[in-house]
Amino acid sequence: MLIARKDKTVTIPVILLNVLNNPVTGMTIANLNDTTGANRIGIVKADGVCASLTLTGSTWTEIDAIRAPGLYHVDLAGADTNQIGSLVLIVRASAGEFRTSYASISVEEYHLASLIAKNSWKIHTTGPDANKLVIYDDDAPVPGTVLMKFNLKDNVDAPSTSSVFERQKV
């Protein structure tokens, strides 16, 4: 199951198959609108709230009709992942063009300890962050976004990068 971070954008893979289980290619946003113009993609959040998604050319993408036929990506906004728990994406079929497709994800709130453990980090030896451990937010929209910094000290409380005894949150 795909895991998403609460209030963060997430890309969900969706496979569209016809009634014979063959991949369906070439589905565009226009194809996913019904006769009234309403789209047929929605989500159901853990609290039971159902919502239609407004898709654009950048939030609905066919991956590769030749090498990955039937595989699409749907980008959900942070507002779509604001409820902790399960979230189901539904792509509803119309007139037998493909089977209704479901994709489940788990929306979780990461604790700081898990972010520190999973994200990239660097010990700086020069510059403004000399003798600091810098932990980056790998999920931030801007690469290199700092999540947290620590001063690194040796056993006599002097700044150090080689004989680190203690780290102090900056």
**Mean pLDDT value across residues 93-102:** 79
Residues of each domain in the chain carrying CATH 2.60.40 = 2-108
- Residue 106 Cα distances to 26, 32, 36, 112, angstroms: 28, 25, 32, 18
- What is the reported pLDDT for 4? 82
**Rounded mean pLDDT, 116-136:** 90
Q: Report the distance separating Cα 78 and Cα 92, nearest Å.
A: 22
Q: Per-residue pLDDT averaged across 147-153, rounded?
A: 91
Tokens for 29? 């946003």
CATH of the structural domain 2-108, one choice from 2.60.40, 2.40.128, 3.30.420, 3.30.1660: 2.60.40
CA distance 148 to 6: 19
More confident residue, 116 or 133: 133
pLDDT the model gives residue 140: 67
Mean pLDDT of 141-148: 76
pTM of the model: 0.63
Closest-CA residue to 134 (of 122, 151, 117)? 122
- 161: confidence class by pLDDT, cuts 50, 70, 90: very high
If one compares 155 and 112, the residue with the highest pLDDT of the two is: 155
Q: What is the pLDDT of residues 23-76, one digit of tens each?
A: 999 988 877 776 665 668 899 999 999 988 888 778 899 999 999 999 999 999
